[in-house]
Amino acid sequence: MVIVMALDATEADVAAVVDLVEAAGGEAFVSRGLDRTIVGLIGDVDLFATLNLRSLTGVADVVRISVPYKLISREHHPDRSTVHVGGVPIGPDTVTLIAGPCAVETHEQTLAAAHMAQAAGATVLRGGAYKPRTSPYAFQGLGEAGLKILADVREETGLPIVTEVVSADDVDTVAAYADMLQVGTRNMQNFPLLQAVGRAGKPVMLKRGMSATIEEWLMAAEYIAQRGNLDIVLCERGIRTFEKATRNTLDIAAVPVAQRLSHLPVIIDPSHSGGRRDLVLPLTKAAIAVGADGVIVDVHPHPETALCDGPQALITSDLPELAEAVGTLTEVTGRTQARSLTPA
């Protein structure tokens, strides 16, 4: 941590900084320049953060140098991790395709979508039973009835399931059915929810908040990790910008950036970022090429009657091209498609 003193800071101001840091058990190195003095701090950064150095007289700025997360950082854990979802790996050696409907509507629709997912080569099924919706008048999901449908479809297809949980109260219920819990973009900083999924004993897919920095996203993962759960998969799903042609702007560089900072796997959601069916295939290719550890896509047997996000769902005739693209790009990036490691 570096303290930048103001131009008009006095020697007494500098001494006050040094005293406070030393009283807290740290060391302070003073460097005096022509215009300014800076003070470098050595010691426990988290302790320094509680000192409110920024509010001392004569302090112009406080520059933090080390990353504020620990458990998920790659600094002391250089190997990238693999998370297993019902026997299917998500990690550096594989590319995992996750597919399914945005929302679970009926058993028939979910089973049809699961068959579509398998036709595309997916080995994990996605589907929402609890839907956070911007409008209180929009379809909010089937709740536990939807979870039962997902569990039935898992039985019939062998696909492990990932599904969203929107409230700390629902975590136990969702964890009783799901193979992986999803925390959505609007809940990335719902800290009670993060702590609850951290205790649930199931892998977690953490979507990036639509206006979260990568650092905040990693801090949210740290919340989960701090409760003892390191089976976290980060999912980039687009950030909010001024561009209107797409629902969100896919931050493709977030994949290599997050992979360098954290050992956790990182996947991409090309369906929700673009919000347009015609962008799913090109963004899927880009995702695998950039090094994402997986891709999660919306498919729907009848998007024209979908209760949620129909315009972005792939349809049956799109699947061969998706399957081929995923296969080809996985191969040229030196990986294999993730398959279940447990006997069917």
Among 157, 173, 249, 316, binds a second copy (CB under 8 A): 249
Beta carbon of residue 206, minimum distance to a second copy (angstroms, whole number): 14
Beta carbon of residue 258, minimum distance to a second copy (angstroms, whole number): 9
Candidate ranges 82-90, 94-102, 107-115, 247-255; the one touching a second copy (CB under 8 A): 247-255
Number of residues this chain uses to bind a second copy (CB under 8 A) = 102
Beta carbon of residue 29, minimum distance to a second copy (angstroms, whole number): 4
Among 10, 213, 336, 342, binds a second copy (CB under 8 A): 213
Amino acid identity, position 186: R
Among 202, 230, 310, 314, binds a second copy (CB under 8 A): 310
Amino acid identity, position 87: G
| CB of 35 or CB of 155, closer to a second copy | 35
Whole-Å CA distances, 75 to 71, 72, 78, 263: 9, 9, 6, 9
d(CA 128, CA 103): 4
Beta carbon of residue 160, minimum distance to a second copy (angstroms, whole number): 26
Instruction: Report the C-alpha dihedral over residues 224, 228, 232, 238, rounded to 10 degrees.
Output: 10
Report 6-45 residues binding a second copy (CB under 8 A): 7, 29, 31-36, 38, 40, 42-43
Report 49-78 residues binding a second copy (CB under 8 A): 49-50, 52, 54-56, 61, 63, 65-66, 68-69, 75
Beta carbon of residue 344, minimum distance to a second copy (angstroms, whole number): 31
Beta bridge partners of 41: 28
d(CA 238, CA 248): 5
Beta carbon of residue 98, minimum distance to a second copy (angstroms, whole number): 19
Contact track, a second copy, 112-141, x by CB under 8 A: --------------------xxxxxxxxx-
Residues 67, 46 contacting (CB under 8 angstroms) = no
d(CA 158, CA 306): 24
The residue behind tokens 């998370």 is 83
206 touches a second copy by CB under 8 A: no
Beta carbon of residue 341, minimum distance to a second copy (angstroms, whole number): 27
Candidate ranges 81-89, 172-180, 190-198, 336-344; the one touching a second copy (CB under 8 A): 190-198
How deeply is 160 buried, as exposed, middle or buried, from its count of CB atoms within 10 A (0-12, 13-18, 19+)? buried
Beta carbon of residue 111, minimum distance to a second copy (angstroms, whole number): 21
Q: What 3-state DSSP class applies to 171?
A: helix
Beta bridge partners of 239: 249
Q: What 3-state DSSP class applies to 141?
A: coil
323 touches a second copy by CB under 8 A: no
97 touches a second copy by CB under 8 A: no
Among 13, 144, 152, 216, binds a second copy (CB under 8 A): 216
Query: What tokens were used for 189?
Result: 């900083």
Contact track, a second copy, 250-289, x by CB under 8 A: xxxxxxxx--x------------xx--xxx--xx-xxxxx
d(CA 27, CA 44): 10
The closest of 328, 319, 114, 255 to 336, measured between CA atoms, is: 328
Query: What tokens were used for 85?
Result: 């979802």
